[in-house]
Amino acid sequence: MAKINAKAVEALVGVDQSVALDRDPVSLKDGAYQQAKAGDRIRSIAKFVMEQAKGFPEVVADEVKEQLNEGYRLRFNENNPPEQYAVIDGNYLLIDQSNPDLANAKEKINIGVDYACVAFTQQQFGKLKNENPKLYAIVKSWRDRVSTYCSNRLGDLKRQAKAILNEGKTRERGATADFSKRIDDTFSDLATKCKNASARGDETANETKFREARIAFMVKWNAV
């Protein structure tokens, strides 16, 4: 399998100023034009990846996925720059406009994509949970957000690649799924989303309540 080289990665994730969406649309027509232009760019990138990584999107080698994730992390970092925390009595306090005095703290730390996702090995990150749970919580939040972002962008790329592979093919409509299966699939999807949201700290994503509500619904639904 071909390996994407460093220059190829730069070409993949670099911003082409001729097609960059660096301004808001000024009209519906302009918005449609920018959308179409972005679509063309994504298609060309998908074709590039397919040429560089044979078997994509069905096969994604570890080294290919890591290089793609490196590019996705670059973009995430641009949109989400590191945050500075003051370390006081073992607590990590975010330094922002609401508490600028914290900038005078003796101990400070910058936490962002590189610190959260590169500075720690998986083993080191696991040990951090017991060694420094407050820092662990902050780092975990960053890692979860970055992981979700990378996963979503890879999903976008795979969908575009599959669309390219299916161009010109006649699509046969599959049999309509039973409604009961749709219920099962929907609940399974919601369970996953609830778990992920809970991991991100969403207090409204209560896994226990969701599980109980799901059971209650299924009992009522399956009642004779």
What is the residue-averaged pLDDT of the chain?
Answer: 88
Q: What is the mean pLDDT of residues 82-106?
A: 95
* 14, 22, 197 from 17: Cα distances, Å: 9, 8, 35
Here the tokens at position 211 are: 């599980």
Q: What is the torsion angle, in degrees rounded to the nearest 10, for the CA atoms of residue 119, residue 121, residue 126 and residue 127? A: -70
- Split at pLDDT 50, 70, 90, the class of 136 is very high
Residue 176: pLDDT over 50? yes
Whether the bond into 57 is cis, omega within 30 of 0 = yes
Here the tokens at position 107 are: 């101990």
pLDDT score of 18: 41
Contact 33, 92 (CB under 8 A): no
Residue-wise pLDDT tens digits, 29-74: 999 999 999 999 999 999 999 999 999 999 999 999 999 999 999 9
Residue 88 is inside which H or E element, if any?
Answer: strand 83-88
Residue-wise pLDDT tens digits, 53-63: 999 999 999 99
DSSP 96-145: STT-GGGGG-S-EEEESHHHHHTSS-HHHHHHHHHH-HHHHHHHHHHHHH
pLDDT score of 173: 63
pLDDT score of 2: 46
Residue-wise pLDDT tens digits, 101-124: 999 999 999 999 999 999 999 999
Say what percent of the chain tops pLDDT 70: 87
pLDDT score of 199: 87
Q: Which residue has the higher pLDDT, 180 or 194?
A: 194
- Split at pLDDT 50, 70, 90, the class of 174 is low
Q: What is the mean pLDDT of residues 147-155?
A: 96
Contact 195, 208 (CB under 8 A): no
- Split at pLDDT 50, 70, 90, the class of 76 is very high
Residue-wise pLDDT tens digits, 199-211: 888 889 999 999 9
